[in-house]
Amino acid sequence: MDRTFVMIKPDGVRRGLTGSILNRFEQKGFRLAAIKLMHIDRSLAERHYAELKEKPFFGELVDYLTSGEVCAMILEGEHAVANARSVIGKTNPVEAVPGTIRGDFAMDVASNVVHGSDSPESAEREIGLFFDEQAALYLFPTPQVAASD
Ligand code: DAT
Ligand code: MG
């Protein structure tokens, strides 16, 4: 089963959109495999967006990502990366069509509420950054924990 990394960015969490955003993915057909609310430091934000470090907006992007809690998740499903990107919509909310998350919940590219990996390789790299090895190597079905008596 394919999987991808999705993160609700600080403005999404701050605005109370976590449930609405997760709902879009679940409605689409994704299975939530792992989820974690966390406040990330600059080092993790910089590693996450390492490919953008020469961009003029990189500093602001890191400020934004570290400005509050994010909600990191692993989503599973067929063509997980491409399906998540289509649920999310275009990078710039001005171009994101209504019906997509960015089309419905965001106005500005600098605060576009959600991240989704852009390739299966990026997804594995990002899952490794945000989740520990046990979650990153998560196997299915979900292990059953024996009830203690
Ligand atoms: P995406 O998040 O759609 O994968 P990306 O990887 O090109 O887009 O960029 C990562 C984030 O950087 C994006 O979600 C918002 C921010 N960003 C991109 N272009 C920007 C710009 N021109 N000005 C400000 N922020 C920008
Ligand atoms: Mg990207």
pTM of the predicted structure, to 2 decimals: 0.91
Question: Would you give the distance in Å from CA 63 to the centre of its chain?
Answer: 17
Mutate to test the pocket of ligand 1, among 87, 88, 91 (most ligand atoms within 8 A of CB): 91
Ligand 1, CB cutoff 6 Å, lining residues: 52, 57, 61, 91, 109-110, 112, 115, 118
Residue 43 pLDDT level (bands cut at 50, 70, 90) = very high
How does the average pLDDT of the chain come out, rounded? 92
What pLDDT, in 10s, does the model give residues 91-111?
Answer: 999 999 999 999 999 999 999
Asked if ipTM goes beyond 0.85, one says yes
Query: String of b and e for 62-72 (b: at least 16 CB within 10 Å)?
Result: bebbbeebbbb
Residues forming the active site:
115
**Residue 100 identity (one-letter amino acid):** T
Domains and CATH numbers, the chain: 3-136 (3.30.70.141)
Q: Please check whether residue 13 is in contact with residue 66, taking contact to mean a CB–CB distance below 8 angstroms.
A: no
Binding site as annotated, residues for ATP: 9, 57, 85, 91, 102, 112
Q: Please check whether residue 87 is in contact with residue 24, taking contact to mean a CB–CB distance below 8 angstroms.
A: yes
Residue 133 pLDDT level (bands cut at 50, 70, 90) = low
Measured CA to CA, the distance from residue 68 to residue 64 in angstroms comes to: 8
What pLDDT, in 10s, does the model give residues 5-34?
Answer: 999 999 999 999 999 999 999 999 999 999
